[in-house]
Amino acid sequence: MNAATPIRAIDGEELRNELDRVIQIGDFATHFQPLVDLRTSTVFGYEALTRGPSDSPLHAPIALLEVAARFGRLVELERLLLRLIVQRFSEQGLPGRLFVNVSADTLVAVKGRLDILRRTLQQIALPPERIVVELTETRPILAPDDLHAAIEGLRGLGIVMALDDLGEGFSSLRRWSEMRPEYVKLDRHFVDGLHNDPIKQQFVRSVLSMAAMAGATVIAEGLEEESDLRVLQDLGVPIGQGYLLGKPTPTPRTSVRPDLSGTIGPRTGAMRREQAMREFYGKPTTAGQLASRGQTLSEQTTCAEVVALFSASPHLISVPVLDQQERPIGLLRAMDVLRHGSERYYLDLYGKKPCTALMDAKPMVFDYATTLRTMSEEMSSGHERILLDGFVVTREGYYYGTGRVSDLLRAISDLQVFSARYANPLTLLPGNVPIDTQIEALLEQRVPFVAVHWDLDNFKPFNDLYGYRAGDEIIQLTARILRSACDSEVDFVGHIGGDDFLSLFCSADWEERIQRVLIEFDSQVRGFFTEEDRDAGGFTTLNRQGERVFHPLTSLSAGAVKVSENSYEAPAQLARALSGAKKHAKRMDGSAYFVERRRPEQPINLSENADIRRGLATLCTAI
């Protein structure tokens, strides 16, 4: 019997004896595979992988665990492996998080040992927040209530959870919903070949959208091709794992491979996209951003001087004329000036007169803050000569600069491309990508704001009864009300998806704005119901069992979180708090809002590399 012998070809008693021998000698090889933050090009943590002795048929991890489960020794084996993993992680002083794979059987067994585990954690230097328990679902979960109790017990100690291999084995969206893990690991099937598979890409988008709402971080496993890496980055997957980023090894690197430094990092992938969006927000969106200082003339300039200027400058198209206070009073056009200047006796008669005689006293003038949309509407209704003239920009009435129509058209085109890529197609409000970017910008700038998660109540039964078209109209109504409640100069509203919206209020009267939204929504939504349903205060549908169920009229719930300086580090952390606030609001009758006023948990410093060499190996003894 050797390592190459298939398990199914070995006698059961021989396997039992081999398992006894392997456990007794404890000769296991522990490898660590890095997980890389695709946004910062740093090692986020390590997943521990254990193999049996190289000369044993139980060398492969799957064979080892399968045989242990067959003979009822899985929990015993996993406890032994966890002790070895922690010890070797400790010896190397590896940074970041430690991801360990644990079966449901072992987790359930932890439930009765939480006090021992708590005392053990108090004796070691490794913060429990750095330990991530991955629930593997290669075996069915037979006691879900006990498993849930064990998970909550571990969370009470500070240990966080990950759901492994989403989309494979017994894993399901239902398990995700029930478990609410801090991390969700995409099965390698959805990563391999991602770059040329639109269905896989849409699946990843859906997982990212759900993770954003649940406050979870997505990790992509099985990453082997740079082409797939680029797509993951463009989609916004934050963490990657796979042979491309680093193979499992007993002594792993503590930094990203140098040859990948140009492929991932702050200016690539998701961060590259976010940087591009920040650059987009810096692109022209108002008249002032399109303007540049150019040549101007005073009203005392003579007609002869103007003719000489345009004659000597063939590329000069127009020049603004300013009064003594530097306020624009007109525009001189090359065509008009040169035409009059070429007329016989014109300069003799008018050469010494002020240039105001040659100027157009009604040029196209915009205030600095005029939006591109307003500019395009006004210019499209003006005379064709405006396309050549350009426009004048003022600030508080004084000359600020001039702009070209070609720059305006280019900026409008950029806005259209941006909307097509990042706006919700139904409401045209910003989608999840710009929402996250806006939150990150506010967090980075340490600007206090209030985040509000809006959700329609009884929307699905309304959609089923009245039809998807009516449902779309209610969503569009909600978008209009939310947009009108925002101060466009300081506030932000986005469409998360479906019937979920997000507002970011920097306005001091944010609570009054929330109240106005709810009142306006209740007033307008009644028009979507029949008179009979309005009088009844609700409507009736049939459930799956064919029973009649009464639903109150569709209402709007809002969960609000006040964000102060240093209270949150990332959009995902804020999303978790918003989810809780929204749940409180939805428990109230009708349209209502709830404000989370408790202080958030202190952020975890993942860069901390505490001295964990002493006593760490005792961690899993309690498990």
Q: Once rounded to an integer, what is the mean pLDDT over residues 457-480?
A: 91
- Residue 513 to residues 480, 491, 596: CA-CA distances in angstroms? 14, 11, 17
Identify which has the larger pLDDT, 285 or 428: 428
Helix (H, G, I), strand (E, B) or coil at 328: strand
Asked if the model's pLDDT at residue 607 lies above 70, the reply is no
Q: Once rounded to an integer, what is the mean pLDDT over residues 258-280?
A: 54
Asked if the model's pLDDT at residue 436 lies above 90, the reply is no
pLDDT attached to residue 111? 66
Cα of first residue to Cα of last residue in the chain, in angstroms, is 33
Burial class of residue 349 (count of CB atoms within 10 Å of its CB; 0-12, 13-18, 19+): exposed
Of 1-15, 38-52, 470-484, 511-525, the least confident: 1-15
Helix (H, G, I), strand (E, B) or coil at 144: helix
pLDDT attached to residue 545? 81
Q: Once rounded to an integer, what is the mean pLDDT over residues 133-139?
A: 74
d(CA 618, CA 488): 56
Asked if the model's pLDDT at residue 536 lies above 90, the reply is yes
Q: Once rounded to an integer, what is the mean pLDDT over residues 16-21?
A: 76
Q: Once rounded to an integer, what is the mean pLDDT over residues 288-307?
A: 91
Identify which has the larger pLDDT, 52 or 549: 549
Of 247-261, 496-510, 527-541, the least confident: 247-261
Asked if the model's pLDDT at residue 393 lies above 90, the reply is yes
Strand partners, 596: 561
pLDDT band at 599 (very low <50, low <70, confident <90, very high): low
Query: In the CATH scheme, what is the code of domain 287-411?
Result: 3.10.580.10
Asked if the model's pLDDT at residue 54 lies above 90, the reply is no
- Share above pLDDT 90 across residues of the chain, in percent, rounded to a whole number: 32
Of 124-133, 416-425, 443-452, 489-498, the least confident: 416-425
Helix (H, G, I), strand (E, B) or coil at 219: strand
pLDDT attached to residue 622? 38
pLDDT band at 91 (very low <50, low <70, confident <90, very high): confident
Of 8-17, 73-82, 612-621, the least confident: 612-621
Top mean-pLDDT range of 68-72, 310-314, 385-389: 310-314
pLDDT attached to residue 125? 61
pLDDT attached to residue 304? 94
Q: Which amino acid makes up residue 506?
A: C
Of 133-142, 254-263, 293-302, the least confident: 133-142
Identify which has the larger pLDDT, 538 or 113: 538
pLDDT attached to residue 414? 72
What are the tokens at 605? 């410093």
Instruction: Label residue 405 left, alpha or beta by phi (over 0 means left) and psi (-120 to 50 means alpha).
Output: alpha
Asked if the model's pLDDT at residue 316 lies above 90, the reply is no
Domain 7-263 has CATH 3.20.20.450: yes
| Residue linked to tokens 């939310």 | 482
Asked if the model's pLDDT at residue 145 lies above 70, the reply is yes
pLDDT attached to residue 298? 93
Q: Please write the tens of the pLDDT for every residue from 163-212.
A: 887 765 445 677 787 888 899 999 888 999 988 887 888 888 888 888 87
Q: What is the DSSP letter of 72?
A: T
d(CA 309, CA 296): 11
Q: Once rounded to an integer, what is the mean pLDDT over residues 490-515?
A: 92
pLDDT attached to residue 609? 37
Query: In the CATH scheme, what is the code of domain 423-590?
Result: 3.30.70.270
Identify which has the larger pLDDT, 136 or 343: 343
Asked if the model's pLDDT at residue 503 lies above 90, the reply is yes
Q: Which of 555, 450, 465, 434 lies closest to 512 in space, CA to CA?
A: 450
pLDDT attached to residue 425? 72
Helix (H, G, I), strand (E, B) or coil at 176: helix
Which sequence spans correspond to the domains of the chain?
7-263, 287-411, 423-590
Asked if the model's pLDDT at residue 437 lies above 60, the reply is yes
pLDDT attached to residue 375? 84
d(CA 552, CA 536): 9
pLDDT attached to residue 287? 85
pLDDT band at 612 (very low <50, low <70, confident <90, very high): very low
pLDDT band at 269 (very low <50, low <70, confident <90, very high): very low
Asked if the model's pLDDT at residue 53 lies above 90, the reply is no
Q: Please write the tens of the pLDDT for every residue from 355-367.
A: 999 998 888 899 9
d(CA 151, CA 135): 10
Kind and range of the H or E run holding 103: strand 97-103
- Residue 517 to residues 268, 392, 472, 473, 539: CA-CA distances in angstroms? 39, 38, 18, 17, 23
pLDDT attached to residue 457? 95
pLDDT attached to residue 136? 73
What are the tokens at 542? 């049939």
Q: Which amino acid makes up residue 595?
A: V
pLDDT attached to residue 41? 83
pLDDT attached to residue 274? 46
How many CB atoms neighbour CB 217 within 10 A? 22
Asked if the model's pLDDT at residue 216 lies above 90, the reply is no
pLDDT attached to residue 121? 63
pLDDT attached to residue 74? 72
Residue 372 half-sphere exposure toward CB, CA atoms < 13 A: 19
Q: Please write the tens of the pLDDT for every residue from 26-38.
A: 778 889 999 999 8
pLDDT band at 277 (very low <50, low <70, confident <90, very high): very low
